[in-house]
Amino acid sequence: METDIDSMTAWMKALDASRRGYFLALVSHEITVSIRILCYDSQSSVGVIESIRALNEAHHRVAGYLIHLTSDDEDTGWLKSVAGYLATCPDAVAKRHLQHAWDHARAITERQAHSD
């Protein structure tokens, strides 16, 4: 994942709304997988709980954006806030999971765009 918030935002803005929604849905799904992994692999340590909280915040931002996108009330200005949290998440474990979510979703989205 690039860590430059502006380039991440620009990449998402360049997608048409449908593909942007698909990309964010993929990110959302990957975040839930990460939370599941941390929940089942943990022994409820405080550090793991903090990582889960950070991932939950990221998921909240992605899902919140998806709500506006799918209700025809999209304001792409909010993409910078979404990208900002994904790129600068304060929890190192969560940030690693978010990087994977971004990279995986972007690869699938770009692969799909090239096959169209």
Q: Residue ranges of the domains in the chain?
A: 5-115
pLDDT above 90: percentage of residues in the chain: 81
Give the pLDDT band (50/70/90) at residue 47: confident
Q: Cα–Cα distance between 35 and 72 in angstroms, integer?
A: 29
Cα–Cα separations (whole angstroms), residue 31 to 63, 72, 76? 11, 24, 21
Counts of helices then strands in the chain (DSSP H, E):
5, 0
Q: What is the mean pLDDT of residues 20-49?
A: 89
Q: Is the pLDDT of residue 1 over 60?
A: no
User: Taking a C-beta distance cutoff of 8 angstroms, is the pair 55, 94 a contact?
Assistant: yes
